[in-house]
Structure 1
Amino acid sequence: MSLPQRFLDWFSARGWAPRAHQLAVLDHAQARESVLLISPTGGGKTLAGFLPSLAEITERGSGEGIHTLYISPLKALAVDIARNLEAPIAEMKLPVTVETRTGDTPHSKRQRQRQKPPDILITTPEQVSLLVADPHAAHLLKGLRTVILDELHSMVTSKRGVLLSLALTRVQSHAPEAIRIGLSATVADPDALRAWLASTGAEPAPLVLGKPGAKPEIRILSSVERVPWSGHSSLYAIPEVYEEIKRARMTLIFVNTRSQAEMVFQALWEANDDNLPIALHHGSLDVAQRRKVEAAMGEGKLRAVVCTSTLELGIDWGDVDLVVHVGAPKGSSRLLQRIGRSNHKLDLPSQALLVPSNRFEVLECTAALQAAEVNAQDTEYPMVMKLDVLAQHILGRACAGPFHPDELFGEVSSAWTYRKLTRVEFDKAVDYVATGGYALRAYERYAKLKLQADGTLRLAHPRLAMAYRLNMGTIVEDEMLKVRLAHVKRRLGKRVVVGGRVLGEVEEWFVSQLTVGQTFVFAGEVLRFEGLDEFGALATRSNDREPMVPSYQGGKFPLSTYLAERVRQMLADPKSWKDLPPQVRGWLSLQRFRSVVPKAGQMLVETFPRADKHYMVCYPFEGRLAHQTLGMLLTRRLERAGMQPLGFVASEYALVIWMVRDLSLAISSNRIALGRLFDEDMMGDDLEAWMAESALMKRTFRNAAIIAGLIERRQPGKEKTARQMTVNTDLIYDVLRTHEPDHLLLRAAWDDAAEGLIDAHRLGAMLRRIKGQILHKALDTVSPLSVPILLDIGRESVYGEGHDALLAEAANALIDEAMRLV
């Protein structure tokens, strides 16, 4: 079966023709082969994924159950895809029904979908897990022919992707003839995605490549203002960004964090003398507010939107002709993904402006621009083998009905993500779900499975199915409080605050630090904190000029290893400095005059006295997480060496440690050898000892315990607070460390900490890289290169011009000190 004539006529009526990669995907689908399509933004990936299904449903007729399961990483993208798909279906008069199923879908609609399923169901990864945990899943999926995984590259690098891979093994067991169509932007390792789509031991899915799009046109802001030495606000550039907004039809302004989004939006609003319609969009805003902004974008009613990653995937947001990236993008693939929102067509170049927040970010933005020019990719490798996710899947499998461990092991190990899972590890995961493990089996509350006479396992109690549905998923967020815009009334002469509409959510720990009367920025407004009621935080509008900005745990992107290497190479090559702004070029030239610039492959370590302390600054350029871990381990070693370290600060680019003793003297007298100080063996006993003492392990254990179902965050009619869960998990953590140190959840927590919070793999690679390549420079005073990291010492998160003025004053003092001739 080729493309039906009515499809060809539809293309022709619009002056189009099916693209080669769209027809290639159709050929593979009609041959019943899974396939991976990699195509740039605007290349028609989504239509390529749906064409085989639309053609086949048209041929066979509608109403025979779910034919195609389309899986989107975002609820907003799922809704947008459904809306966009309805147009060609209506125009071609196709007998195809399309519906969505997300976390926002009402229960009544889900019940109706069970009775009368659509031909195409558009959903999210979590909903697929819930679908296969339903006892009616076999009936719902018996006619399934195709699974489409959109934006696959964005899903496979997290636990969401790991859980999805397990859910798809259940889908495959119900519909063994179903094929998978993966849709992805350009990635660093296409073969990994091809293998991810296939079952263990099977040939990887064939690869179809779309035609490259027009080369993006990217600029770096060459500001007339002084580029800050440190900080991440980019407020110095707001007047110039505002002028760019005025010249464009619609601008997307991407930032890396929610707090930065609030700050930039507020600054733009203050600069908005022309009353341009500028909006704010990030994940903590109320869903109704986000949908309102999305609708206004689609209708072309906005001139600019300040946003986070919530708007970076596949959605076509109308007439966007410029993307401004405030702050360094941290990765070339992320930059290409975001700027692809501009001129969302294959043959039109994306227009982008990079706005570095500080001088080191100028180097990073330059490296990102050069990487984008050659379409270099630095996407992460797919995440695999998460034991807490496996435990959640096992419980979900039991919710669907009794299962035999032998059959489930075969099913789970067929997923590429669990291809190396041993039977011993699997049996431990099953035992954990069934009993809680050796140390917890005496407590009935942790026994969730019962062994039956025929060797199968079933749920120990029906209420566990409800608990699973309420708690499933892999995204563990900190406790959030709703913020409502309140209004003040006078009752009997007293000031009474009455709650109003919900603006969104902030993390509980931030609200706990506020006192009544303090102001903060949220949802694009300056708010005065009025206190708490049973529903959350109450706030009224304020005109305060220097409010606080809520910060959020996590959410910061690490500097990619690829960009880090490019920055190191740029720093080592003075000839490449000619492309840098004069301010930055002069800064690096001063560094070469006062200290030294490391060669490619070297790591510079500077030591110098300042005031009554002694400082060591090193420049690994390996990202904040790796540097923080390095700082913790080095301070332990320096303490043992008698140097009396007092503290450290890490940035994306450098690490500074200050101490009482003179490190320059200790190195010159051979009391301390830098090669030994930075030896890779710190990743052994030192790392384990620090992890055992730190709160990091307890935090990661708490997350693993929630994902694995040990702690139920939500129960029918009530929800545990973050404090309750922390107390519970801390007690269990201590019990397991004492009585069962190889417990599944302790292993899962260690794996998460090493991979995420401490970036142990990257730190280990860095220590191997610099072995024998450490360049030490003892100085009498601070160096120009050290000024940014020294400014980070003792910084507080403050908003407003006063903060920038203080930072500039401190920078001037440090630079004067660095340039003082002795």
Structure 2
Amino acid sequence: MASKWATSEWLAGRGWKAFPFQRNVWREMAAGRSGLLHATTGSGKTLAVWLGALQAFGDGEAPLTVLWVTPMRALSQDTLLALQDAASALAPHWTLAARTGDTTSGERASQQRRWPTGLVTTPESLSLMLSRADAPDVMKRVRLVVVDEWHELLGTKRGVQLQLALARLRRWNPGLMTWGLSATLANLDEAADTLAPGAVIVRGAQDKKILIDTLLPERIERFAWGGHMGLTMLPAVIAHVEAAANTLVFTNTRSQCERWFQAMLEARPDWAGLIALHHGSVDAEARRWVEAAMKAGQLKCVVCTASLDLGVDFLPVEQVLQIGSAKGIARLLQRAGRSGHAPGRRSRVTMVPTHSLEIVEASAVRAAVNAGRIEPRRPPDAPLDVLVQHLVTVALGGGFRPEELLPEVRAAPSYRHLSDDAWAWALAFVRHGGESLRAYPDFQRVVPDEEGVWRVPDQRLARRHRSNIGTIVSDAVVSVQFLGGGRIATVEESFISRLRNGDVFLLGGRALELIRIEGLTAYVRVAKPDKAKLPRWDGGQFPISDTLADSILERFDEARQGRFTDSEMRFVSPLLKLQSEWSALPGPHRLLAEVLESADGHHLFLFPFAGRVVHLGLASLLVWRAGRETPATFTMAITDYGMELLSATKIDWPSRLRDLLAPVDRVTLRDEVLAGVNGSELARRRFRQIARISGLIFQSHPGEARSQRQLQASSSLYFDVFRQHDPGNRLLRQAESELLSAELDVDALGRTLERMASQELDIQQPARATPLSFPLMVERLRERASSESLAQRLSRMLAELEAAAGGRAPEDVESKLAFGKPPEKLKGRGTRRRRR
């Protein structure tokens, strides 16, 4: 094994010295304990656990001694390189490899002939390994599982999938150690217990210096709106990137990433070859080239998404720019940590607001970071679709006896309170599909043999299951490649299916012309970027976190008292003062509502600052409650800050609003919300994901891929069959439960109603749209009009509002609505202001 002396010598050879928290980890691992290491990004977490593993097990070379689980396959190669550096010196007889969705079939076959000592993998690939017939013999050798970036998995079904896999490994090896790494967690006790019951918590260095500043525009826009790319800030961003040795530019969506990369290249064509693009749909080989080039200092800038949030060690990065709001404290800290990614180095992130209200968010984020406030992550409670998938996986991986498997499943914390009835239902579902599908052979997936061991008897069903293991559910993806065969990236089928041959779109940093589509492959050639369309990917909009929303309201409250405590708040003070003059400012103890009559009809604007999900449920609830007494047709719009209800008939909101916002018990609230939305259709959409995870429908069969239209039709058929013939089906109940918890978040809505009941209700009746209500108007209007007609209307509205406020309207409305056509000339570089 690698002794502590050898470890210290290796560190000293690199000019390093072990930190106290690293030595603490080594002591706990030497004692065989599992744990959660929580420390700031770039403080040495990876080395702490990896060097502990080499000290504990480095004297042997048994295959699969250590599994290193990463949440993103894009991180596997970088993680592998980081681990190999220490292993080559301290355990040169060890072999290391990666096994993810990017691993070729040849590499997989080579690994199976001789498994490496350490394996970097993902939750999906780990489950796939558990489905092998020899899994009990191969996987029982694992002595340590390290879960990197545990906070990213904790609150997801992927995390539940990993819980079940760990429970299986612990059954085969009761002495298995499990260690998690995390930099951004609030609920540490729950996180540690979910990873490994009884795990110790080691707190590492938390004093890393993080500089958060803001790149401010040349002038304030008192009437601004979200939903555009923010490319009016391009000149200032170009100047900022030019002044630094190297930069990561983070965007929240892949579409925004593509557009910003193209705009930067158009603005600075001399940077060709010095700037690069990185997101999860870019081909794996291209991603690895970008990562290696950045680490080698060959790139000046990488425009990226969450694909580089985690893990990748970019030591040379001088600064990070965040385009638009990060929507959460933890997410911004994670991205900030990509710069100065080493112990003792300062991290730096500069926020680039895409509209004026995001400047308030920038101030709120820094205040929350300084106060040590961060969002918790909660694990899902016993999702049956994940359990059903796991049962088939275990049946493939050597089989199971139900009476022996149940305690193992309950050892996974998310299933700690799994009922006997739910267990019996899950067994019946994998055995014959439940009562309504009993007659169909394809749903007899797992059956007991003569000895009472449940196995998968049909190799066709086995291959189909292995091809679909996982809990990531999205639109079917289309591979985009050149006519000559070079693969570029993937894009969602729902986007590509709307294009016609000859249309041009941006992908992988190129303008591409669609030639033809064959199956799930789109053939393209390089084109001019004029009028190129932007691809759309699911999951593009982050909801604002409760923690950040609370901090924003505190900033508004300070402004109401005339206190503008930092450069951001002073810069945005004209907007806030105008909001106060024409209406009022909300606050932690003040709920602002605005009632307005316009040519469009009668408006209610409400500002709970509870996030898009809650606002959707709240708007639906208000419509349903108001309509019980006065039938009316409403149009609604929502943002993270508030909601708008527009009706043709006048509603007496001042006298009715308090009663309409009254809190009720959860059961009543659930029924009211479902009555206020198209609950059946929303549940049907949610059921599609559950059907995919549970194995009712399959994204792909070996040798073929199914279109999204086929998947929708199949899942809708099952949904209707169950509702008619099996209304007690637990997957239907799960769909409704997830709809209420994830898409409508009824629990958060209930808390919001309780909070609003305790707040002072401030109902204002302004003469015109205010700085806070204007973004909601734009949100509603853009759903009903083309960019050209909307641009004309917004230009007229802005001119009228600015005239009333004594100012002048901006001139770039049309370019914003065109998803951020950058300024034709890079005049002016913006004014950079910061607070250390």
After TM superposition, is the score higher than 0.5?
Answer: yes
Equivalence for 1:87: 85
Q: CA deviation at 1:373?
A: 2.3
Instruction: Identify if the C-alpha distance between structure 1 residues 806 and 607 changes in structure 2 by more than 3 Å, giving closer, same or farther.
Output: closer
Structure 1 match to 2:553: 568
Letter in 2 for 1:220: T
Q: Is the 8 A contact 1:144 1:178 kept in 2?
A: yes
Displacement of 1:476 after TM fit? 0.9
Q: Which residue of 2 aligns with 1:493?
A: none
Distance 1:427 1:818 in 2: 67
SS in 2 for 1:243: helix
Is 1:160 paired with 2:179? no
Q: Structure 2: which 5+ runs fail to align?
A: 808-836
- Say which is worse superposed, 442-451 or 535-544, in terms of deviation: 535-544
**DSSP-derived class of the 1:577 partner:** coil
1:379-414, CA deviations, whole angstroms, 9 ceiling, x for partnerless residues?
Answer: 422333111101101111111133111111100001
CA contact (8 A) 1:258 1:552 kept: yes
Alignment of 1:205-244 (within 5 A): 205-227=199-221, 229-231=224-226, 232-244=228-240
Match of 1:264 in 2: 260
> Partner amino acid for 2:799?
N
Correspondence for 1:145 among 124, 143, 155: 143
Identify which of 457, 461, 468 aligns with 2:458.
461
Partner of 1:515: 500
Change (3 A) 1:502 1:15: closer
Q: Report matched runs for 1:589-738 at 5 Å.
A: 589-642=577-630, 644-663=632-651, 666-667=652-653, 670=655, 672-677=656-661, 679-680=663-664, 683-690=669-676, 693-738=679-724
Letter paired with 1:159: K
Alignment-mate amino acid for residue 302 of structure 1: L
Contact (CA 8 Å) 1:546, 1:799: kept in 2 or not? Answer: no
**Which shifted more, 525-534 or 651-660?**
525-534
Distance 1:801 1:14 in 2: 60
Decide which moves more: 681-690 or 323-332. 681-690
In 1: Cα distance, 2:506 partner to 2:787 partner? 11
Cα deviation, residue 643, structure 1: 5.4
User: SS of the residue aligned with 1:69?
Assistant: strand
Q: Which amino acid aligns with 1:630?
A: L
Task: Map residues 332-731 of structure 1 onto 2, 5 A cutoff.
Answer: 332-485=329-482, 498=483, 500-534=485-519, 536-574=521-559, 575-579=562-566, 580-582=568-570, 584-642=572-630, 644-663=632-651, 666-667=652-653, 670=655, 672-677=656-661, 679-680=663-664, 683-690=669-676, 693-731=679-717
Contact kept, 8 Å, 1:300 with 1:318, in 2: the verdict is: no
CA contact (8 A) 2:329 2:365 kept: yes
Q: Distance in 2 between matches of 1:57 and 1:803?
A: 65
Structure 1 pair 53/673, CA: closer, same or farther in 2 (3 Å)? closer
Q: Which runs of 5+ in 1 are unaligned?
A: 486-497
Q: Deviations over 1:348-407 (max 9, x none)?
A: 211110011112212212111111223321142233311110110111111113311111
Helix, strand or coil at the partner of 1:484: strand
Question: For the residues of structure 2 that align with 1:809 and 1:318, how far apart are their CA atoms?
Answer: 49
Deviations 1:102-158 (A, max 9, x none): 122233433333332222122111111112221211221333221111111111121
C-alpha contact 2:622 2:660 (8 A) present in aligned 1: no
Aligned residue for 2:757, secondary structure, equals coil
- 239-248 or 49-58, which deviates more: 49-58
Shift of 1:310: 0.1
For 1:787, the aligned partner's letter is: F
Query: 2:172 pairs with 141, 165, 174, which one?
Result: 174
Letter in structure 2 aligned against 1:813: E
How big is each residue's C-alpha offset from its partner over 1:408-437, in whole Å with a ceiling of 9 and x where there is no partner? 110000111211112221111111111211
Q: 1:190 aligns with which of 188, 199, 204?
A: 188
With over 3 angstroms needed to count, the CA separation of the structure-2 counterparts of 1:680 and 1:529, relative to structure 1, is farther
Distance in 1 (CA, whole Å) between partners of 2:316 and 2:789 is: 37
- What residue identity is the alignment partner of 1:99? A
Which has the higher mean CA deviation after the structures are superposed, 232-241 or 109-118? Answer: 109-118
Contact 1:546 1:800 in 2 (8 A): no
Range 555-564 or range 283-292, more displaced: 283-292
For residues 95 and 487 of structure 2, the distance between their equivalents in structure 1, rounded to whole angstroms, comes to 35
Q: What TM-score, normalized to structure 1?
A: 0.92
CA contact (8 A) 1:22 1:48 kept: yes
Q: Hey, what does 1:755 align to over in structure 2?
A: 741
Query: 246, 255, 260: which is aligned to 1:250?
Result: 246
Separation in 1, partners of 2:373, 2:284: 35
Aligned to 1:304: 301
8 A Cα contact 1:34 1:197, kept in partner: no
Q: How does 1:758-777 map to 2 (within 5 A)?
A: 758-771=744-757, 773=759, 774-777=761-764
Secondary structure of residue in 2 paired with 1:221: strand
Residue identity matched to 1:130: L
Q: Distance in 2 between matches of 1:528 and 1:108?
A: 33
Give the partner amino acid of 1:109: E
- The SS at the match of 1:121 is strand
Query: 1:782: which partner in 2?
Result: 769
Please give the alpha-carbon distance, in whole angstroms, between the structure 1 residues aligned to 2:54 and 2:126: 21
C-alpha contact (below 8 Å) 2:87/2:94 kept by paired residues: yes
* Cα displacement (A) at 1:16: 2.1
1:295 and 2:287 aligned: no
Q: Secondary structure of 2:603's partner?
A: strand
CA distance in structure 1 between the partners assigned to 2:784 and 2:350 by the alignment: 26
CA distance in 1 between counterparts of 2:786 and 2:304 reads 19
The verdict on how the C-alpha distance between 1:226 and 1:798 changes in structure 2, with shifts beyond 3 A counting, is farther
**What is the CA deviation profile of residues 587-643 of structure 1, one whole-angstrom value per residue up to 9, with x for unaligned ones?**
111111111223422221111111141111111111112212222332333444435
Match of 2:832 in 1: none
Q: SS of 1:294's equivalent?
A: helix
Work out whether residues 663 and 750 of structure 2, in 8 Å CA contact, stay in contact via their aligned partners in 1.
Answer: no
Quote the Cα distance in structure 2 between the aligned partners of 1:517 and 1:816.
45
3-state SS of 1:573 partner: helix
Structure 2 CA distance for aligned equivalents of residues 694 and 258 of structure 1: 31
Task: Report the CA distance between 1:217 and its aligned residue.
Answer: 0.8
CA shift, 1:48, in A, is: 1.1
Q: Does the 8 Å CA contact 1:782/1:817 hold for their aligned counterparts?
A: no
AA in 2 matched with 1:676: L
CA deviation vs aligned residue, 1:500-538 (integer Å, no higher than 9, x gap) = 533212222222333344433222233344443445334
Instruction: Say which is worse superposed, 76-85 or 649-658, in terms of deviation.
Output: 76-85
TM-aligned CA distance change 1:54 to 1:737, over 3 Å: same
1:800–1:633: structure 2 CA closer, same or farther, 3 Å change rule?
closer
CA shift, 1:26, in A, is: 1.1
Equivalent residue letter for 1:662: K
Give 1:260's aligned amino acid. Answer: Q
Deviation per CA, 1:296-347: give whole Å up to 9, x if none: 2122111111111000102112411100000111111111110000111221
How many angstroms apart in 2 are the aligned matches of 1:75 and 1:604?
A: 45
CA distance in 2, matches of 1:673, 1:459: 58
Aligned residue for 1:771, secondary structure, equals helix
Q: Note closer, same or farther for the CA distance 1:111–1:269 as it changes in structure 2 (3 Å cut).
A: closer
Contact kept? 1:528, 1:541, Cα under 8 Å: yes
What displacement does 1:263 show? 1.8
Structural RMSD (CA): 2.6
Provide the residue aligned with 1:491 in structure 2. none
Deviation string, structure 1 residues 28-60 (Cα, Å, up to 9, x no partner): 11111112111112221111111232123333x
1:220: how far off?
1.2
